[in-house]
Amino acid sequence: MQAAAARAQRLTEQATRAANAASVNSAKAAEDAAGKALKTIRATRPDGAPIYVVLDNLSSNKTPAIRTWSRKNKVELRFTPTGAS
């Protein structure tokens, strides 16, 4: 009985580690996707005119890298109110 409990504990720990890794990877993937989308939008207006983009409140849309890039490239980010999207 103890062997089964120990095996179940190991499987639970492995599943938890896998879920945590997936969460980190999906957050990074979402940030990368947001960055690519913004760069594509900016490329459509190479004249440097300001662009305004409305986004939901997903945390990957608000990372320091995204905010810094948008400031340098005249892309104004506006976020929908929490709970509105």
Report the number of distinct structural domains present in the chain: 1
**Residue 68 domain boundaries:** 2-79
Closest CA to 34 of 8, 3, 9, 64: 64
What is the reported pTM? 0.60
In a domain, 56, yes or no: yes
List pLDDT tens digits, range 50-78. Answer: 999 888 887 778 888 889 999 999 999 99
In a domain, 51, yes or no: yes
In a domain, 84, yes or no: no
List pLDDT tens digits, range 25-45. Answer: 676 777 788 888 888 888 888
**CB count, 10 Å around CB of 75?**
19
